[in-house]
């Protein structure tokens, strides 16, 4: 697998760096280097960023504070608007979000 494929596999299929490292028989340092290079070279979509942030946050803490929930909601909104705008509809993704999630 290429580093890009490894990085995308991590983003899409793993919750922890340790799980990723174990699966590919890498050291934590090697896995971390692959992820860091991937983040620099292959920017994520807003939805991928949201899922990655949630995955990184949840194992560390039991509850999600209100401010963090609001941050996740804002990321989700951005991802939904971008996805909606990519379909090229008459109304904008922002208009759709506002009307749907009042």
Structural contact between residues 17 and 32, judged by C-beta atoms closer than 8 angstroms:
yes
Residue 91 is predicted with a pLDDT of 63
Query: DSSP letter string over 56-100?
Result: HHGGG-SS--HHHHHHHHHHHHHHHHHHHHTT--SS-HHHHHHHH
- Higher pLDDT pick, 19 / 77: 19
The top-scoring range by mean pLDDT among 20-24, 46-50, 93-97 is 20-24
CA 83 to chain centre: 14
**Per-residue pLDDT tens over the stretch 12-46:** 788 788 999 999 999 999 999 998 898 888 777 76
- Return d(Cα 60, Cα 26) in angstroms, integer: 22
């Amino acid at each position: 697998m290429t580093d890009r494929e490894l990085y995308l596999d991590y983003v899409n299929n793993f919750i922890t760096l340790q799980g990723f490292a174990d699966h590919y028989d890498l050291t934590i340092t090697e896995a971390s280097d692959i992820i860091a290079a991937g983040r620099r070279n292959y920017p994520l979509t807003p939805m991928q960023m949201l899922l990655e942030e949630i995955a990184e946050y949840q194992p560390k803490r039991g509850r999600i504070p209100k401010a963090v929930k609001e941050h996740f909601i804002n990321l989700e909104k951005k991802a939904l608007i971008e996805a909606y705008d990519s379909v090229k509809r008459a109304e904008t993704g922002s208009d759709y979000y506002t009307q749907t999630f009042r």
